[in-house]
Amino acid sequence: MYDDIKTESEKLRKLWHQEVDSIFDKLDSMRDAEAWISGNNRTITRVDIHGIAKDSLTTTCQFGPCGIALTRKGELIFIDRDNATINIVRHGKSMTLITTPWGWVPWGLYCTRSGDILVHISFFFDKHKIIRYQEQRKTQEIVNDRQGKPIFEDGLGKLYMSENNNGDICVSDTSANTVVVVDKAGRVRFRYDGKQAFREKTFVPKGIVTDKFSQIIVADYNNCLHILDQNGQFLRCVDKCGLEKPHELSVDSKGRLWVGCESGKIKLIQYLTNA
């Protein structure tokens, strides 16, 4: 059913590189051969698997959108950090969908399978929490554990988010250099700090995704990918595929892992060989 991840670089299919300023997110799972990408300018671009631009949208964000995602209906949404809004694109035009609470700046974005929108917001770039929205209605805050202590570390870091098949929310907390997984109710299930990988370099988690087998894949800024099972058990590292400071991840139904690196290159790796 599932072939072992091929760690030898010659067995990892690098399909193409695409130069942009910086990658943020996200693969359009409705079109497995395409992805929306954005960098440090105002433009969001849809590219195909060959790196050819198919569509683009110019936003009004002063420093570019700091997060993009696709809704369950395939609509593009993005963060306008300057105005503290999440905007949705309809008929080629963007409009405000969500405005975050005063003082809280949106930094990260994720759309769940049920259609909910998860937003990472930061209070004066220090305190962090995740808000779940159904359309424009706030339904959940993920902020404190059962002892009333903050789940996420204070600091300037970003929270990268993904949803697993069991409803868990998997989060790379870059202020803590830790992966935190909470259940659908927001209760902490486990944390992963990278020590189980026995690597010499510090674990610096960035983008995070899950695959159809509920495995958790984490981009480590120190040039590798960490693979965990859904209960946080370390499985392996993939560090021989030529990754250089990976930031963003997305996996499609064809078993391809889309990796956005700090250099602005996107790498495609055939991650599951019989997806």
Residues 118 and 53 in one domain: yes
pLDDT at 81 over 50: yes
* Co-location of 177 and 121 in the same domain: no
Amino acid found at 133: Y
Residue 21 has pLDDT above 50, yes or no: no
The DSSP secondary structure of 125-186, one letter per residue, reads TTEEEEEEEETTEEEEEE-B-TTS-BSS--SSPPEEEEE-TTS-EEEEETTTTEEEEE-TTS
Residue ending a domain, choose from 141, 174, 205? 141
- 175 inside domain: yes
The CATH number linked to 136 is: 2.130.10.10
- Decide if 152 is inside a domain: no
Q: Give the pLDDT of residue 176.
A: 97
Q: What is the pLDDT of residues 43-53, one digit of tens each?
A: 888 888 777 88
Residue type, 75: E
- What is the mean pLDDT of the segment spanning 180-201? 96
Output phi, psi for 251, to 5 deg. Answer: -120, 135
49 part of a folded domain: yes
pLDDT for 25 beyond 60: no
Domain at 191, CATH number: 2.120.10.30
d(CA 230, CA 216): 6
Q: Which among 76, 108, 141 is the end of a domain?
A: 141
Is residue 78, in this structure, part of any structural domain at all?
yes
Asked if residue 169 and residue 135 are part of one domain, the reply reads no
pLDDT band, residue 203 (cuts 50/70/90): very high
Confirm whether 13 is domain-assigned.
no
Co-location of 26 and 105 in the same domain: yes
54 domain-assigned: yes
Q: Is residue 271 pLDDT above 80, yes or no?
A: no
Statement to judge: residues 168 and 137 lie in one domain: no
The pTM for the full model equals: 0.88
In a domain, 36, yes or no: yes
Distance CA 2, CA 22 (A): 32
Q: Please report where in the chains the tokens 């051969």 appear, as a residue.
A: 33
Instruction: Flag whether 271 is in a domain.
Output: yes
Which among 98, 113, 141 is the end of a domain?
141
Does residue 24 register a pLDDT over 50? Answer: no
For 206, the domain range is: 157-275
130 and 226 both lie in a single domain: no
| CA nearest neighbour of 161 among 181, 187, 185 | 181
